[in-house]
Amino acid sequence: MPELPEVLTIKKDLKKEILGKKVVSVKKEKNYKPAHSTDLFSKYVVGHLVEDVDNIAKLLLIKLSSGKYIASHLNMSGILLYNTTDPYIKMSLEFDTGDMLYYSSVRMFGYFEVWDNIKLNEYKKRYGKTALDQDLSIEEFTKIIGSKNKPIKTVLLDQKLVSGIGNIYANDALFMSGINPYKKANLLGKEKLEELFYNIREILNEGIKNRGSSIDRYRDLYGKMGNQQNFFRIYGKREKNCNSCGNKIKFEKMQGRGTFYCDQCQPLDDRIRLL
């Protein structure tokens, strides 16, 4: 699924395309079941204007003049498409301009639903600031992340601490920082945590600049692939050699997620480095 760079890319394009437009019809495909009755779409979406497009962590929000929101989490395989389709469309919105917005998903994990403020606020409470939030200071980051007695990769993927970092960008940010994914976060030290903070911001911003990572399903709002996959530091380089030291890259499952690291450049024990 989209991580923060992909979500922010979609958000920006969505804002540009649909702000101020009125929804005139909604269509749901039979093989998609939102958590609520489709009445909510006809009641709170059809006939209403798009007032804003926003996000909470990786959740996309379309604010409507009815006071309700379309909340869409793309999860692993979801995409939003504007005036272009694919074989996995689940929901379609038609605007007064004739433009179309589609929610597409292969694996059925994501959702595209009508939410009210209450549900939105409950959701918000469960998530930390995104890694790119202007008001997430380096002090706050190091305090939140550096206090956990858990592997740093697990901590980075915990969205209630700091949100937006997913598996791709976590792998790459750790490689850039020379940090072993198994290293306990509370053993990293101030300097390493700060380095990690800067590298997370760098790699997320690079992802945005390259319009996201398309390793499989991800496409932007116009159905186009992102480019960040061409710049991966270590993610996806199973059986390949480290571009820094030439050693064979390790691939292991950690918390069920594919984890790539170079045990030379990202030593678990600092003593290994000194030898």
Partner DNA sequence: ACCTAAACCTGGGCGC
Partner DNA sequence: TGCGCCCAGGTTTAGG
Provide the binding-site residues for DNA, judged by CB under 7 A. 1-3, 6, 57-58, 73, 75-77, 106-109, 126, 149-151, 154, 157, 159, 166-168, 212-218, 253, 255-258
Bridge partners (DSSP) of residue 258 are: 253
User: Smallest gap, in angstroms, from Cβ of residue 10 to DNA?
Assistant: 11
Contact assessment for residue 168 and residue 204, using Cβ atoms and an 8 Å cutoff: no
d(CA 154, CA 176): 17
3-class SS at 68? Answer: coil
Biggest alpha carbon–alpha carbon distance for the chain: 69
Cite the beta strand spans of the chain per DSSP E.
23-28, 50-56, 59-64, 69-73, 78-82, 89-95, 100-105, 111-115, 250-254, 257-261
The position carrying tokens 């920006």 is 12
User: Smallest gap, in angstroms, from Cβ of residue 272 to DNA?
Assistant: 22
The neighbour count for residue 169, using CB atoms within 10 Å, is 27
- For residue 133, report the phi and psi dihedrals to the nearest 5 degrees: -60, 130
By annotation, the residues acting in catalysis are 2-3, 58, 257
Kindly tell me the sign of the dihedral angle through the C-alpha atoms of 238, 244, 248, 249. Answer: negative
3-class SS at 157? Answer: helix
**CA 223 to centroid of chain Cα atoms:** 17
